[in-house]
């Protein structure tokens, strides 16, 4: 599942969510609960939900070409009863995201069919993709492209960790170490 949010200052954020079966629960016909799971500790989505509650959820399932979309309003809850529904291996989440569904629909499969998304023959191998160090250097605009994080890059990363990644002419998203122009459907070198 992908969760899209929008902050007043930071702009749009889209991040993946997922876990074992049960990370998302239906509370009633109009309400979903999403379990908190520790990630990168940036809490961009949570910050955005507090600022502006509008969210979009996109569900993809391997080998299924249709996409399921939900748009709604979200809020963060620390209600012990709701948190208790999501205990995994004795670990309690810190919060639960509550989504009030405003619209839910299935979107046609044309884009996924054209992309041949689920065809394993079209997938890149790990060797064909940039290293995590190269992706980090591109994301933090480091001067070098290390294969691992150097002290210089770590310092620069720390300084920039709260700065939004912006470009004055086009909006770009970091995806797999490459920059993809929004809507262009092709990858550009970073």
105 with 138, same domain: the answer is no
- Phi and psi dihedrals of 67, rounded to 5? -110, 145
134 with 166, same domain: the answer is yes
Its domain, for residue 96, covers 2-115
Q: Which residue has the tokens 């309690």?
A: 92
54 with 105, same domain: the answer is yes
133 with 66, same domain: the answer is no
Which of these ranges, 37-46, 75-84, 166-175, has the smallest mean pLDDT? 166-175
Tokens representing 167? Answer: 């470009």
Could you tell me how far CA 178 lies from the centroid of its own chain? 16
Residue 106 confidence (pLDDT) above 70? yes
How far is residue 5's CA from residue 74's CA, in Å, rounded to a whole number?
Answer: 9
Whole-prediction pTM value? 0.67
**Cross-strand partners of 25:** 33
Q: What is the CATH number of the domain that holds 66?
A: 2.30.110.10
- Answer yes or no: is 120 within a domain: no
- Answer yes or no: is 149 within a domain: yes
Q: How many domains does the chain fold into?
A: 2
Please write the tens of the pLDDT for every residue from 61-96.
888 888 899 999 999 999 999 999 999 888 898 899
74 with 48, same domain: the answer is yes
The pLDDT confidence band at residue 41, using thresholds 50, 70 and 90, is low
> Does residue 38 sit in helix, strand or coil?
coil
95 with 11, same domain: the answer is yes
Closest CA to 48 of 100, 99, 6: 6
15 with 75, same domain: the answer is yes
CB 24 within 8 A of CB 35: yes
Residue 153 confidence (pLDDT) above 60? no
Q: How far apart are the first and last CA of the chain?
A: 26
């Amino acid at each position: 599942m992908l969760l899209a949010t929008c902050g007043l200052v930071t702009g749009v954020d889209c991040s993946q969510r997922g876990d074992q079966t049960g990370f998302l629960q239906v509370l009633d016909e109009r309400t979903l609960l999403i379990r908190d799971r520790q990630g990168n500790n940036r809490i961009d989505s949570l910050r955005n939900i507090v600022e502006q509650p509008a969210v979009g959820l996109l569900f993809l399932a391997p080998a299924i070409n249709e996409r399921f979309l939900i748009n709604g309003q979200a809020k963060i809850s620390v209600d012990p009863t709701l948190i208790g529904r999501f205990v995994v291996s004795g670990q309690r989440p810190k919060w639960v995201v509550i989504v009030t569904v405003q619209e839910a629909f299935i979107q046609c499969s044309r884009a996924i069919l054209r992309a041949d998304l689920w065809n394993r023959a079209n997938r890149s191998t790990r060797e064909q993709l940039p290293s995590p160090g190269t992706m980090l250097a591109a994301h933090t605009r480091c001067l070098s492209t290390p294969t691992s994080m150097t002290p210089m890059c770590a310092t620069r990363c720390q300084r920039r960790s709260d700065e939004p990644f912006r470009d004055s002419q086009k909006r770009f998203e970091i995806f797999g170490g490459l920059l993809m122009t929004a809507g262009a459907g092709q990858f550009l070198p970073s």
